[in-house]
Structure 1
């Protein structure tokens, strides 16, 4: 019946009892006649525990030793799942990233996948075995060093394996039962989606939705791998992330999301001359800090103000870099604001419906919410607002666009 790739997150394998539950789900898939390949995360909390131990030794730890340490979480959980299946009478084998051929680019802690040489997986499947692959990790062939893939790396691993094996679907099992129109903890009337397009899911993931990591969605889109998000804790229909169709285009707004892990930096009285923006953002990029929304004011008397957002966790480093750059270019001062959030609406239907942004701005204005920054694409509108208004904004926008 073909190859099925399944992925189970840290909560799903967080205890031996939950591992037995996962093994039952895997066994059922095998009983249906599929060849089964599974990717697992570290047990819930294990990666944080290992990082904290490393920090206790030295806050300024080696990136290489970080990867050497934290990949062991997945290396430990995969044989636990494999042995559980073996004890149930199902032939299984656990494989590290090195063993199943995950080739990475050599960047520590946030490496990218270059290739998967899946010969070992195919050999084990031919023997009738279930392959349990450790997620989140690969190897740099130039050094033979372990590389980890960063946040959501096990999701990315699973979709990459599905693409390498030419599987048509990758099943991602989590502690939620699918993708919702908003965070159900914030919006009581949030609805579970039967399906969502790759582009919409990419936007939601990049804007703060935590269910799927954007890199795994991008991989699925590039390699035509459908991603099915399911619950490992209860048997319910999930959400299919797939190609866009006409039915999806009829819905103007598919989801509303907020991201509180945002901070704003403003450089005031920046000289308005060629190369200044390049100087600023090259210095920030050199520190591996991602910049999101950028707004530059109209020039006045040869100067302008430049604002941009970064992740809140990068605020201190970004401010330090900007303070140094401000002295070099002659800007007046650097202002930082960590009390902001980004609120966004997403939907492929926006392409063919006018007035969506105007309606959003009107709703926020009626609540007395000031819009600090605005950014748009074909299928999304995002507004930077004070953090204290973020949940109210999400509920109001959901009621107006999704529940109408």
Structure 2
């Protein structure tokens, strides 16, 4: 008998038919003698629909009330899934995040988990129930409802697996594993049998949407056995683990792209000590994450530098820079937002020369200009114009020998394309 955590995303429970399919899969595990804890996201586009409704009433709704609103989506899912399991003759009990024992810091819309007290879940399991937990949510010590940010159900599942010492945490989605790139963009993307925590963390941070970065961090820190697989097939998924076997001749494991990118340039800044500390200290104090930073050469005692932030933070970041103009005088601030970050990731990159040159050549052959570059031991990222991104991803995928002979599986039978 194993203790299994299963997480189903919104597309997996997007209709009553899909909900019934998920219920049957849970029942199969129970009939095989396993104890099952299930984490569920809101159905389909429920979260987006709730956000749209809130904006119709208030263009800038309070964060507390948004958390109160958005957590209802997952509560609908857990109740319906529990009912579906009961309908096929199995016991199930649904829990909100706070009923399941999730305690978080007092930050609305992107809270971090501080503690999990799963006593009620163990009791429900001992009584023979499939335990169904609402993802994405928790509660502060003062009783305030919070959400964990987009993709937070992944984090809920992995953190819960660590807390209850589950044998495995299975993340179910509409693709049957982790691919070398988005299979919706590259039809012949290669499915990976396994990938390391570090490689997966890079891909997740760089735009690969199959796993949330914080979920991968939890898995790595707690050595949670993590498997990504499809809710529409019985195919074996992809294992995320500490060390993954490298395929011979494959240096780059995956290609990710992120369209949520804006570049801000500060021109004509005095070349004096402390300038960067003041600018990026002010951005950090405002909770704005900065990604790539590039400074140009100095001319006449003045320098230019540019940095990237998420598109959502662009206007706030410009406001922060303008607010410190008396401390950091500059000639001009400009911004650009029709951009995308394309990245290659692979543990083998560190010991193989020529990887960067091949990326630059593939992009150059498409007539695309590279605006910024950032590197780490296992990652290389380029900022380019957004329009040609799919052509660039396909070219890189071919250049690094990642094309598979067969098309990838995406979605259920009715969604195959």
TM-score scaled by length of structure 1: 0.96
2:34 is aligned to 34
Q: Do the aligned residues in 2 keep the contact of 1:251 with 1:348 (CA within 8 Å)?
A: no
- Structure 1 equivalent of residue 92 of structure 2: 92
Find the counterpart in structure 2 of residue 13 from structure 1: 13
**Deviation, structure 1 residue 311:** 1.4
Inter-CA distance 251–100: structure 2 relative to 1 (3 Å threshold): same
After superposition, the C-alpha distances for 1:23-50 in whole angstroms (9 at most, x for unaligned) are 0010011111110000000111111222
Q: State yes or no: 1:299 paired with 2:298.
A: yes
Deviation, structure 1 residue 305 = 0.7
The corresponding residue for 1:53 is 53
Paired residues for 1:56-95 under 5 Å = 56-95=56-95
Asked if residue 196 in structure 1 is aligned to residue 201 in structure 2, the reply is: no
**Conserved in 2, the CA contact under 8 Å of 1:92 and 1:129?**
yes
Q: Which residues in structure 2 correspond to 1:5-404 (within 5 Å)? A: 5-141=5-141, 143-247=142-246, 251-403=250-402
Gaps of 5+ in 1: none
Q: 1:168 to 1:378 in 2, by over 3 A?
A: farther
Moved more, 57-66 or 104-113: 57-66
Q: Secondary structure at the match of 2:265?
A: strand
How many angstroms does 1:327 deviate by?
4.9
Instruction: Kindly report the root-mean-square deviation, in angstroms, between the aligned alpha carbons of the 2 structures.
Output: 1.6
2:200/2:240 contact within 8 Å kept? yes
Structure 2 spans left out of the alignment, 5+ residues: 404-417
Maintained 8 Å contact 1:326/1:333: no
Say if 1:250 and 1:349, in contact at 8 Å, map to a contact too.
no
Quick one: distance in 1 between partners of 2:339 and 2:171? 32
Checking the alignment, whether the CA contact within 8 Å between 2:250 and 2:400 is kept in structure 1 is no
Q: Describe the superposition over 1:176-218 as per-residue Cα deviations: whole angstroms up to 9, x where unpaired.
A: 1111111222223211111111111111111111111111011
**Higher mean Cα deviation, 279-288 or 320-329?**
320-329
The answer as to whether partners of 1:12 and 1:173 remain within 8 angstroms in 2 is: yes
Shift in CA distance, 90/395, structure 1 to aligned 2, threshold 3 Å = same
The farther-off stretch of 288-297 and 371-380 is 288-297
**Deviation string for 1:130-153 (max 9, x for gaps)?**
100010011101x11011000111
CA contact (8 A) 2:97 2:133 kept: yes
State the shift of 1:60 in Å: 2.1
What is the SS of the residue equivalent to 1:381?
strand
The worse-fitting range, judged by mean Cα deviation, of 184-193 and 99-108 is 184-193
- What CA distance in whole angstroms lies between the structure 1 residues aligned with 2:98 and 2:255? 39
Q: How many angstroms apart in 2 are the aligned matches of 1:271 and 1:24?
A: 65
Q: Distance in 2 between matches of 1:249 and 1:327?
A: 56
* CA–CA distance in structure 1, aligned partners of residues 277 and 384 of structure 2: 27
- Residue range with higher mean Cα deviation, 237-246 or 218-227: 237-246
Structure 2 residue matching 1:10: 3-state secondary structure = coil
Q: Deviations over 1:296-345 (max 9, x none)?
A: 11222222111011112222222232233345411010111112111111
**Partner-residue secondary structure (3-state), 1:350:** helix
Query: Contact 2:194 / 2:245 at 8 angstroms: preserved in 1?
Result: no
Mean alpha-carbon deviation: is it higher for 22-31 or for 291-300? 291-300
Range with greater deviation from structure 2 (351-360 or 205-214):
351-360
Q: Secondary structure at the match of 2:291?
A: strand
**Secondary structure class of the residue paired with 1:329:** coil
